[in-house]
Amino acid sequence: MQFTYRSFGQRIHFGSEKVQELPALLRDFNTVLIIASERWQSIVHNLQEALPGTAVHHWPEVIQHVPQVLVDRGSAFRQKHTPDAVVSIGGGSAIGLGKALALDEYLPHFALTTTFAGSEQTNIYGISQEGGKTTGRDDRVLPHTVIYDPDLTLTMPKKLAVPSAMNAMAHLVEALYAPAGNPITRALAMEGMVAIRKGLQKIAVTDGLTPKANEQLLYGAYLAGKCLNEVSMALHHKAAHVLGGTFGLEHSLVHTVLQGYVLAYQWPHLSVAQQADFQSALDHTFPPRQLLDLAAGGGAPTKLSEIGFKEEHIDRAAEEILKKPYTNVRPVTREGLVQLLHQAHSGQLPTPNE
């Protein structure tokens, strides 16, 4: 019971129809920039109607991994319209662009999340360039108000909802064994894993999201985002960013596939208490297997070969992961990484004793 814990200042609005509170939150701003794909045009239109005295400008271009060229165009749009608030509507890509724009000059950032990605909870930003992705932390990019409205995630197709939820699960998994973890983040991670596990198990036997499962997944994703922001991530997240940014793989699918194999890699180096926490939260004697089963049960991929990663890229990926040292439960070696990536590519999960 000796620890250091830092909390972050945010206002959270969680619940059905919370999106209707957004106009009241924005009424004191003169000019608002909304970052949202065309899919959310109806929300943009409703805001324009509800804020007749506010200039509302819509930026519809959203690209995964937030490429620098998009940030440059978005910055020029921002400079042209000089907003005094930014609203991001969507998942990690839309919110990520809002964060990138805040690096130039802070603006109050309202995030309306429509996936389970968790970016809305963190001061982490990522901008991709040709050949890689730059990530960092800066408190200026942390959205100061976040709206979680289950009505907006309920219509998410199952093929998108499952990888998005597994993405959130990855934050919780690494938070539980984070070197800087503490009793608070441990409790958050445990509760979040239980919520997401139960939500995924519910939708495994349905054609789509049920209201209860959706609410559980969204709540778990909120807790996952908090954990991601409050403790450092390790091997899984480093590997996921390398594979996604360097090889152009879809972000949530990389998280979905990798985490079971990475947890198996870490497993022999976890304490007995940490192993027991995972077994309790994931309700399985060997939690790495449960992670793959949760993905497969929802129809998501469980092999890197299924999401476009080629076996001949394993050596290069291992080299990229090793370029910047970071704290990890188990020592990270080139040999170990190559073996892990081969396992994830072929779908051969090691046994608990390996």
At 4-58, the pLDDT tens digits run: 888 898 999 999 999 999 999 999 999 999 999 999 999 999 999 999 999 999 9
- Amino acid identity of 149? D
pLDDT over 70 at 201, yes or no: yes
How far is the CA of 135 from the CAs of 67, 140, 166, 175, 249, in angstroms? Answer: 12, 14, 21, 18, 17
Average pLDDT, the chain: 94
**42 vs 324, higher pLDDT:** 42
How many CB atoms are located within 10 Å of the residue 197 CB? 24
Tokens of 354: 């390996």
pLDDT over 80 at 353, yes or no: no
pLDDT over 70 at 98, yes or no: yes
Domain topology for 163-346: Dehydroquinate synthase-like, alpha domain (1.20.1090)
Residue 354 pLDDT: 65
C-alpha to C-alpha distance for 203 and 304, rounded to whole angstroms: 23
Averaged pLDDT for residues 76-96: 95
118-130 pLDDT, tens per residue? Answer: 999 999 998 988 8
Q: Tell me which residue of 255, 17, 308, 293 sits closest to 117, measured CA to CA.
A: 255
SS3 string, 174-241, reads HHHCCCCCCHHHHHHHHHHHHHHHHHHHHHCCCCCCCHHHHHHHHHHHHHHHHHHHHCCCCHHHHHHH
**CATH architecture observed for domain 11-153:** 3-Layer(aba) Sandwich (3.40)
What's the predicted TM-score (pTM) here? 0.92
Domain ranges within the chain, ordered by starting residue: 11-153, 163-346
Q: Find all residues with CB under 8 Å of 28, minimum gap 6, and list them.
A: none
Tokens of 265: 């890699």
The pLDDT confidence band at residue 251, using thresholds 50, 70 and 90, is confident
**DSSP 8-state code for residue 10:** -
**DSSP 8-state code for residue 140:** G
HSE (CB half, 13 Å, CA atoms) of 103? Answer: 18
- Amino acid identity of 353? N
Q: In this structure, are residues 236 and 174 in contact, taking their beta carbons and an 8 Å threshold?
A: yes
Q: In this structure, are residues 229 and 146 in contact, taking their beta carbons and an 8 Å threshold?
A: no
Residue 168 pLDDT: 96
**DSSP 8-state code for residue 38:** G
How many CB atoms are located within 10 Å of the residue 16 CB? 14
HSE (CB half, 13 Å, CA atoms) of 152? Answer: 23
Sheet strand arrangement including 85-90: 11-14, 145-148, 109-113, 85-90, 31-35, 55-59
pLDDT over 90 at 117, yes or no: no
Residue 65 pLDDT: 83
